[in-house]
Structure formats: C-alpha cells, structure tokens
C-alpha cells in the first residue's frame, strides 16, 4: 500500500490519537514529500481510516525502513502551526501523567478540528476572525489603540500587591521566569480587581491573557467583570458547555492571536495562545482543576509549568489556598502576596458553632432544622434578608429503610445505597445510575411503612417550605439544574431578591456574589472530619470559608451576618480555626500533620487503579504489578502499599481496587512510573477479566 519512495521524501514524526496500549512508538513516522514546520496539522492514514495528526518536533528515532512508511495525505496549511512551547506543554503533560503524546495532544484540540478538510477550515478561520468585538485589536508589534475601562482607585493593599507584581515582571534577568504568585485574600478582598489590573498590563503590551476558573456556570460575575472592563477587546470562553462549533471558533480565535482574553475551565490551560503574557488561576484550590479521567492532569499545576516555560507571570488566587501551594509559598518557591481584609472594611460573618449535643434528643431522632436555626431564619425573613443553607447531599434521603426487617434500599449493582428522590418518586443510584420507582411496600417483608433515613437537599427544602409557609424557598443542586438554563435562572432569581431561603449542595458555596445574604448555615458538615481521605478536612475548610464568604458583602449587612455551623464536634480544631477565620493556623496544623504522616505536599503519590469482574482479578493484576515494580531500580526509593478496595468498591457490577504508591521525591516517583507503566499494558493482556486499569499521578481523592 505504500507508494514508491521518492528521493526527496522526508520522514516526519506525527502525533496521532493512538491508544497508549497499542505498543506503537509515539509519535508515529510518516513520509512527507518535503519538510513541514513542527506543529502543522496534517491528515494521515491510521489503520484503515484517515485521522488528524500533528507534525511533532524532533527527529524520528525509529529504525523502520522508510520504504514501509505511509505518506501524509494532506496538510491543513490554512492553519498556522502550533507553537513549540505548546508542543512542549503537551509533551510534559503526557510524560508526567503517563499518557501518550498523541492522546493528550489530540484530546485537547476542539473535536470538530478532526473532521475538517483544508477548504472547510479556511471557512472557519474566516468566521473566527469575525468574532464580535467593540474596538480595534492590536496584533503583534502593532500599536494597541484600545482604552480599557478604568476601574476603582486601588486600596493601599491592592496597590502594594500590584507594585510587587510589577517588580516581579521587571526582574533584572529577563531570561528567568518570574516566580508564581500566590494571591491570598478572603472573598471580597479585591483579588479580582488585581487580576483585572494585571490583565490590563499584559494586554497593553499586546499580549494574550488566560484566566482559568473552576466552573464557568457558577461564576458568571467574573466573566461579566472582565467583559465590562475590557469591552473593547476580544474575549472568548473555552469550556465543555460550548457547542462543538463554538468551541472550534473560540479555539481558532485564540490560536490566531485574535482573542486577547481567554476565560476557561481546566481544558483551557491547553489553549494555543501565541502571545500569551499572563495566566490567572482563580480559586486555585478548587478540586475541579483536576481532570478525573483519561489524562488525569491538574490544570493548576500545568498552568504553573506553562508560565515557567514561557517565562510569564502566573497568579494563583484563593482565600484558602491548596496546602501544596501554601507550602511552596512557605518555602519561598512561590511569592505570597496578601490582601488582608474585605474592601470597604466589611467584616467576615461571625461564625457560630451550634453544638448538636445540646439538643434535647427525642428517640434518637436528629434534625437539621434545629429550633435555634429556625429562629435565626425567621429573623432574616422578617428583615427581608436572604439565607443560604448548605447540605452536601442531594436527593430526599440517602436511603429508604424498613423498620420491620431492616431492609435498606441498596443498589443491586454497587456497594452503595440508592438515594430516595421524592420529586419523581424514584430510588436512584448515584454511582451507576440504576433507577426504579419507589416500591409501595418493603420488597423483603411487605411492610408498607418504609421510611427515609437521613436527609438530602430535597427533604430540607420540603421541611423549610412547611416551616415557613409563604417564604420563597429555592434549591440548587445537580438535580434541580439538570436542564440547560436552569442554573442560570435560579442564580438570577436569588440575585434579584426573589428567593428568601436558598438550599443547596456545594454548588451554592462558589463564587456567586449574592448581596442580600446575611445567614449562611452548614447543617451537617461533620462527615469530612473523619473521612479516610486525608484531604477531606482541607476541602471542608475551604468550602465553609467559601460559603461564609457569601454573607455580608455589604458593609452595613456584614454587622449582622452570621455563619451557622451545626456540629457534634464543636471542639474540633477545624471549627476552632473557622470561628477565627484563620486559614493560616488551620494550614499550619494540617501541614504539621501531613509532614509527620509523610503525606503531600511532603511526599508524592500516585494511585494505580484496576477494575475487574471479580475482586480476585483486580487484585491479581495489582499484585502482579507491584511484584514487577519491586524489581525496578527506583523501587528502593518508593513505597508500594498493599492494594485495597476503593471507597465505593463495586460500581455497576465492576469490582474496583486501588494501590497507593508513595515517594519522598517527585523525581523518584516519576522515574519508577516511566519504567513501570509501559509494562502494565502487556501485563493487562495476561490478566483475563481485567476491564481497565489507570494511573492517577498526584491524585486528589484517596
């Protein structure tokens, strides 16, 4: 099938989306009638089909006879090539997270790009260039004639932060990358204003700005503020909620250098930005920056890598930084800049711990709506203020229960309960999706008196409506916002003051700027205190601080703003720190615990997971993998723990096991993984019944 080899044919490396386990050398070699610049998009034969590929930098090292190579079919030459730094970012991500270059490279391009030929692409390029914009756009070297809106006069703390940022940028050795900046300040301390100023600075130099946010739908205000400040500039968003056509258009606009601002979720860290001058990572601690399948990358960490490589500043902003970033700042590797208080002197809400042990107990029945909380809510209703109640569990009740025979609504396919959803009268498994109508009677003994145990947001919403007839109660969680536009509508209603009490999961704790909220209540947050996941307290603290940040953003309301925490463990150090709004002492004690337990950021982890039809198969694979690893030279610097079932061990009739790998040095861990992983593809073939395996480097949840 290969055509006759011409004397002038060149061998080029081309990254294609070949599965990692194919055993193919990555990138693959192809013949080209002449050289092509690295980063060029091409169409190549792959197996029996034709696929999109990227000409990869570097020379082929394979010893395949060129005569047996297949030729590149066509070049999408309408598109400027992807840059070398972009290719290097991909190479780094692939090697660090143990995936193939081709897989990572192709998976982060807009999917529509795969199906276009050169003609269609030209058309799209024209459209991308026509994205609406208010005023003229500068291109490289051209004078930029846009005046950005001015913004408020900076307060002294902001001015100082910006002066320090400027100093970092004007480092005497322009060849070295500026240190990453950790911008630390509570909600409302003016971080976003700092991002806006730093962005204005980069834009005025004709550079592009990349702003990463955890979830774009939850933070419409940030987008609105950038759009308002930079009304004359071209801004695009990049996230998974776009239609394929939008995503392509926005991506092209960034790649062509026409979009000056790109605002996006984690996948935007891979945007092609030829004149990138600044990266902002807002809420840098947020778990959604970590991709949870495929290449399990951390967009925050890749942003830091990318900024370093491109020698540009990166700002990581948070009121509760990740302990990884906090520790790097402690070590002086990141530059910590602090905004110490709320703008306008607004106080943070007073945190009140309500000791559940003080409640008179009736028959062991607990309640989320305690009498004092009801009182506090009533006071808000009377004053026309809003309240927000946070309960991190959706559905009506986590389980249905029969008091006669002890039947519980377990999922037949998972080691988990099915959740009772009263709205559509279903029992729904949140792991495999298995859904049935609620039975009229106990399926085991026929008892008609089966009752919900525990409480989810749906039930709390119902109880609130019963307790406060006439109050406007709304709920925001994954169930109530399934359909397009529902979330935006609900947020708008709260914003417009059409809601008195808002109930929801952690979705409601994120960046919304609700101005009339004076009470935030966490009714049942204790679970995270005793989780087997060592990061659970860190996440809980961040969530509660963030939830508290929703209250009292107007100075005059701040005075009567409260954060209410119902707990069985008011003496817990986490809550003690919360009462003081004291992230720093919380971080200090957590870091001390992590250091003595040898956990991140003082150690580096990878998690090897295996899924099989039986526990034996999954375990057999992991045990064999461990035995193999022990033979590798870096094994002496790495600790491999015995494998254990995942916290939900069985999902959809698949047994799931995991094995933790720990090393004191990142280098040793990476060294081991790079020698180990390729062998596991072969090992899988000898373990019949093994469905999948995957490695998670720097896993977030253990």
Q: Which does 154 bind (CB under 5 to 8 A by kind): ligand ADP, Zn ion, none?
A: ligand ADP
- Which of the stretches 182-190, 396-404, 413-421, 594-602 binds ligand ADP when contact is defined by CB under 6 A? 182-190
Minimal distance, residue 149 CB to ligand ADP, in Å: 12
Coil, strand or helix at 120: helix
Determine, following the binding rule CB under 6 A, whether residue 192 of this chain makes contact with ligand ADP. Answer: yes
Q: CB nearer to ligand ADP: give 203 or 599.
A: 203
User: In whole angstroms, how close is the CB of 378 to ligand ADP at the nearest point?
Assistant: 30
CA 341-343-345 angle, 5° bins = 70
Binding residues (CB under 5 A) for Zn ion: these are 402, 404-405, 407, 411, 413-414, 429, 431-432, 434, 442, 444-445, 447
Tell the smallest beta-carbon distance from residue 195 to ligand ADP (Å): 8
The verdict on 219 binding ligand ADP (CB under 6 A) reads no
* Nearer Cβ to Zn ion (64/445): 445
Closest of 508, 499, 505, 503 to residue 471, by C-alpha: 499
Q: Can residue 318 be called a binding residue for ligand ADP (CB under 6 A)? A: no
Please tell me what DSSP assigns to residue 281: E
- 388 or 442, CB closer to Zn ion? 442
Partner interacting with residue 188 (select from ligand ADP, Zn ion, none; CB below 5-8 Å by kind): ligand ADP
Residue nearer to Zn ion on the CB measure, 597 or 652: 652
Q: Are 463 and 369 in contact (CB under 8 A)?
A: yes
442 binds, among Zn ion, ligand ADP, none (CB under 5 to 8 A by kind): Zn ion
Considering beta carbons, is residue 328 or 342 the nearer one to ligand ADP?
Answer: 342
Q: What CA–CA distance (Å, rounded) separates 522 from 391?
A: 6
Going by the annotation, the residues of the binding site are 402, 405, 411, 414, 429, 432, 442, 445
Based on CB atoms, which residue is closest to Zn ion, 70 or 431? 431
What are phi and psi for residue 630, nearest 5 degrees? Answer: -60, -25
392 lines the binding site for ligand ADP (CB under 6 A): no
Min dist CB 240 to ligand ADP, Å, is 24
Q: Does 190 bind ligand ADP (CB under 6 A)?
A: yes
Q: Is 188 in the site for ligand ADP (CB under 6 A)?
A: yes
Stretch that binds ligand ADP, among 105-113, 150-158, 419-427, 670-678 (CB under 6 A): 150-158
Work out how close the CB of 254 gets to ligand ADP at its nearest, in angstroms, rounded to a whole number. Answer: 24
Cis peptide before 27 (omega within 30 of 0): yes
Partner in contact with 155, chosen from Zn ion, ligand ADP, none, beta carbon below 5 to 8 Å by kind = ligand ADP
- Please report, for the chain, how many H helices and E strands are present, in that order: 18, 28
- The nearer residue to ligand ADP, 39 or 346, going by C-beta atoms, is 346
Q: Are 126 and 249 in contact (CB under 8 A)?
A: no
How many residues lie near ligand ADP (CB under 6 A)? 14
Residue 192 interacts with, from ligand ADP, Zn ion, none (CB under 5-8 Å by kind): ligand ADP
CB-CB contact of 379 with 560 (8 Å): no
Q: What does each C-alpha distance from 57 to 18, 61, 276 come to in angstroms?
A: 18, 12, 20
Cβ at position 23, least distance to ligand ADP in Å: 49
Do 33 and 6 meet the contact criterion of CB atoms below 8 Å apart? yes
Q: For residue 504, what is the DSSP state?
A: E
Question: Minimum distance between the CB of residue 144 and ligand ADP, rounded to whole angstroms?
Answer: 24
Which residues, 6+ apart, have CB-to-CB distance to 558 below 8 Å?
A: 342, 346, 347, 348, 349, 551, 552
State the minimum distance, in angstroms, from the CB of residue 158 to ligand ADP: 5
Pick the closer one to ligand ADP by CB: 53 or 346: 346
Residue 193 binds ligand ADP, judged by CB under 6 A:
yes
Q: Please give the Cα distance from 129 to 238 (Å, whole number).
A: 16
Question: Minimum distance from CB of 5 to Zn ion (Å)?
Answer: 56
Residue 628 interacting entry, from ligand ADP, Zn ion, none, C-beta within 5 to 8 Å by type: none
> Given the rule CB under 6 A, which of 9-17, 165-173, 190-198, 491-499 is the region that contacts ligand ADP?
190-198
DSSP strands (E only) in 531-635: 562-567, 604-612
Q: How far is the CB of 420 from Zn ion (least distance, A)?
A: 14
CA distance 212 to 289: 9
Please report which helix (H) or strand (E) contains residue 11, including its range: strand 10-15
By C-beta, is 189 or 670 nearer to ligand ADP?
189
**Of positions 154, 374, 573, 668, contacts ligand ADP by CB under 6 A:** 154
The DSSP secondary structure of 306-354, one letter per residue, reads: HHHHHT--EEEEESS--HHHHHHHHTTSSEEEEE-S-GGGPPPPEEEEE
Q: Which is nearer to ligand ADP, 104 or 200 (CB)?
A: 200
Helix 244-255 with 118-129: angle, nearest 10 deg: 80
Q: Quick one: which of 83, 158, 208, 505 contacts ligand ADP (CB under 6 A)?
A: 158
- In the list ligand ADP, Zn ion, none, the entry touching 193 (Cβ below 5 to 8 angstroms by class) is ligand ADP
Interface with ligand ADP, residue 505, by CB under 6 A: no
User: Rounded to 5 degrees, what are φ and ψ at 312?
Assistant: -125, 160
User: Residue from 40, 83, 112, 189 that binds ligand ADP (CB under 6 A)?
Assistant: 189
Query: Per rule CB under 6 A, is residue 343 in the interface with ligand ADP?
Result: yes
| Binding test (CB under 6 A) with ligand ADP, winner from 152, 294, 412, 678 | 152
Instruction: Give least dist CB 506 to ligand ADP, A.
Output: 18
How far is residue 527 from each of residues 322, 478, 523, 568, measured CA to CA in Å? Answer: 20, 20, 11, 10
User: 431 contacts which partner out of Zn ion, ligand ADP, none, CB within 5 to 8 A by kind?
Assistant: Zn ion
Should residue 13 be labelled a site residue for ligand ADP when binding is judged by CB under 6 A?
no
Q: Rounded CA gap, 501 and 391, in Å?
A: 13
> 159 or 361: whose CB is closer to ligand ADP?
159
Q: Are 211 and 261 in contact (CB under 8 A)?
A: yes
User: Omega before 283 cis (within 30°)?
Assistant: no
User: Which residues contact residue 545 at a Cβ distance below 8 angstroms, ignoring those fewer than 6 apart?
Assistant: 186, 187, 319, 320, 578, 581, 583
Torsion of CA 457, 458, 461, 467, to 10 degrees: -110
* Closest CA relative to residue 146, chosen from 222, 235, 67, 68: 235
What's the closest the beta carbon of residue 687 comes to ligand ADP, in angstroms?
Answer: 50
- Residues 173 and 169: their CA atoms lie apart, in Å, by 10
CB of 546 to ligand ADP, least distance (A): 10
Residues flagged as binding site for Zn(2+): 402, 405, 411, 414, 429, 432, 442, 445
Closest C-alpha among 463, 429, 444 to residue 648: 429
Report the side by side order of strands in the sheet with 473-476. 350-355, 562-567, 517-522, 386-390, 501-504, 473-476
Cα dist. 382→378, 379, 500, 520, 522 in Å? Answer: 6, 5, 10, 16, 21
Using CB under 6 A as the binding rule, whether residue 509 contacts ligand ADP is answered as: no
Site residues for ligand ADP per CB under 6 A: 152-155, 158, 185, 187-193, 343
């Amino acid at each position: 099938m290969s055509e006759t080899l011409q004397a002038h044919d060149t061998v080029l490396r081309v990254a294609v989306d070949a599965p990692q386990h194919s055993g193919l050398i990555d990138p693959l070699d192809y013949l080209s009638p002449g050289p092509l610049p690295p980063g060029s998009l091409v169409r190549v034969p792959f197996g029996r089909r034709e696929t999109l590929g990227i000409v990869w930098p570097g020379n082929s090292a394979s010893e395949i006879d060129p005569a047996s190579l297949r030729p590149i079919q066509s070049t999408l030459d309408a598109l400027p090539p992807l840059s070398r730094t972009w290719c290097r970012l991909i190479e780094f991500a692939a090697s660090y997270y143990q995936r193939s270059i081709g897989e990572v490279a192709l998976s982060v391009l807009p999917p529509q790009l795969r199906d276009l030929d050169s003609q269609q692409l030209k058309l799209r390029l024209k459209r991308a260039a026509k994205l609406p914009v208010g005023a003229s756009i500068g291109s490289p070297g051209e004078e930029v004639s846009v005046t950005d809106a001015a913004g408020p006069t900076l307060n002294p703390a902001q001015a100082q932060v910006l002066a320090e940022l400027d100093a970092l940028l004007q480092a005497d050795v322009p060849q070295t990358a500026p240190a990453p900046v950790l911008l630390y300040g509570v909600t409302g301390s003016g971080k976003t204003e700092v991002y806006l100023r730093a962005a204005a600075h980069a834009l005025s130099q004709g550079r592009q700005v990349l702003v990463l946010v955890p979830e774009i739908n939850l933070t419409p205000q940030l987008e609105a503020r950038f759009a308002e400040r930079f009304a004359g500039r071209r801004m695009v968003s990049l996230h998974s909620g776009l239609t394929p056509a939008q995503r392509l258009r926005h991506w092209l606009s960034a790649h062509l250098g026409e979009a000056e601002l790109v605002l996006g979720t984690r996948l935007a860290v891979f945007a092609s930005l030829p004149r990138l001058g600044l990266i902002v990572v807002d809420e840098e601690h947020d778990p959604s920056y970590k991709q949870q399948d495929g290449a399990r990358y951390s967009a925050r960490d890749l942003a830091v890598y990318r900024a370093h490589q491109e020698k540009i500043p990166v700002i990581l902003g948070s009121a509760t930084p990740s302990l990884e970033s906090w520790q790097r700042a402690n070590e002086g590797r990141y530059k910590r800049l602090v905004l110490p208080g709320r703008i306008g002197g607004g106080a943070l809400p007073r945190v009140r711990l309500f000791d559940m042990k003080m409640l008179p107990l009736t028959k062991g029945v607990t309640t989320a709506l305690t009498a004092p909380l009801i009182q506090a809510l009533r006071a808000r209703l009377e004053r026309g203020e809003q309240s927000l109640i946070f309960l991190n569990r959706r559905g009506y009740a986590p389980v249905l229960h029969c008091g006669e025979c002890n039947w519980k609504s377990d999922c037949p396919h998972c080691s988990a309960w099915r959740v009772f959803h009263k709205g559509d009268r279903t029992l729904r498994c949140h792991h495999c999706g298995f859904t049935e109508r609620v039975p009229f009677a106990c399926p085991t003994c026929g008892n008609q008196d089966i009752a919900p145990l525990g409480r989810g947001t749906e039930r709390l919403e119902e109880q609130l409506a019963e307790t406060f007839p006439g109050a406007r109660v709304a709920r925001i969680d994954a169930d109530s916002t399934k359909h397009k536009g529902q979330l935006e509508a609900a947020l708008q209603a709260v914003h417009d003051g059409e809601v008195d009490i808002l109930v929801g999961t952690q979705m409601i704790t994120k960046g919304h700027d609700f101005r009339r909220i004076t009470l935030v209540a966490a009714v049942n947050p204790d679970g995270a205190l005793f989780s087997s996941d060592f990061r659970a307290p860190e996440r809980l603290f961040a969530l509660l601080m963030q939830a508290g940040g929703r209250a009292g953003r107007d100075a005059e309301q701040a005075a009567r703003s409260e954060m209410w925490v119902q707990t069985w463990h008011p003496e817990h150090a986490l809550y003690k720190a919360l009462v003081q709004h004291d992230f720093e002492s919380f971080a200090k004690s957590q870091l001390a615990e992590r250091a003595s337990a040898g956990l991140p950021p003082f150690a580096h982890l990878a998690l090897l997971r295996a899924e099989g039809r039986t526990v034996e198969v999954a375990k057999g694979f992991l045990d064999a993998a461990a035995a193999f690893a022990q033979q590798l030279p870096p094994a002496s610097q790495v600790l491999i723990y015995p494998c254990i079932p995942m916290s939900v061990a069985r999902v959809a009739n698949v047994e799931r096991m995991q094995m933790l790998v720990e090393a004191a040095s990142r280098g040793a861990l990476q060294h081991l993984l790079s020698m180990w992983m390729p062998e596991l593809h072969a090992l899988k073939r000898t373990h019949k019944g093994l469905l999948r395996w995957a490695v998670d480097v720097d896993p977030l949840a253990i």
